[in-house]
Amino acid sequence: MVNKPLLLAWIASIIAMVGSLFFSERMGFIPCTLCWYQRILMYPLVMFLGIAFYRNDRTIYKYILPMSVLGMGISSYHYALQKIPSMHEFSSCTSGVPCSGQYINWLGFVTIPFLALIAFTFITVMMLILWKRK
């Protein structure tokens, strides 16, 4: 039987990875420091969730949840740096591309960190569902 939460989490991680690669490699957007941290947390999820789906490993949430929750935290902080002007003084990006920069701003609120936040949140919810079904 197909484990839907695991499959959906894996698909979300693939979309997030492909999206970030599209923005940097195809569109030429240079990732800032916080973007790199989010990538460091998202990219392994593609492999871990793919293997877990193949093996139908219902205990993978133990390893995925810490990474996805930390990713949610970094994405939330990054989004706050972009959207709350008073947060700019707390920026951790000291060289290169500023973390408060916005390559995209669809509908006035959808930025790259917002997209990462949605992906990390969705994966977290799927892992919580998996945990509750155990």
Condensed to tens digits (0 to 9), the pLDDT of residues 80-95 reads 999 998 887 777 676 6
The contacts of residue 29 (CB under 8 Å, 6+ apart) are 23, 103, 112
User: How much of the chain is in helix, strand and coil states, percent to nearest 5?
Assistant: 70, 0, 25
pTM for this model (two decimals): 0.94
Other CB atoms closer than 10 Å to residue 18's CB: what's the count?
A: 11
For the chain, domain boundaries: 4-87+95-133
- The model's pLDDT over 23-36, given as tens digits with 9 standing for 90+, comes to 999 999 999 999 99
User: What residues are paired with 106 via a beta bridge?
Assistant: 110
d(CA 114, CA 52): 26
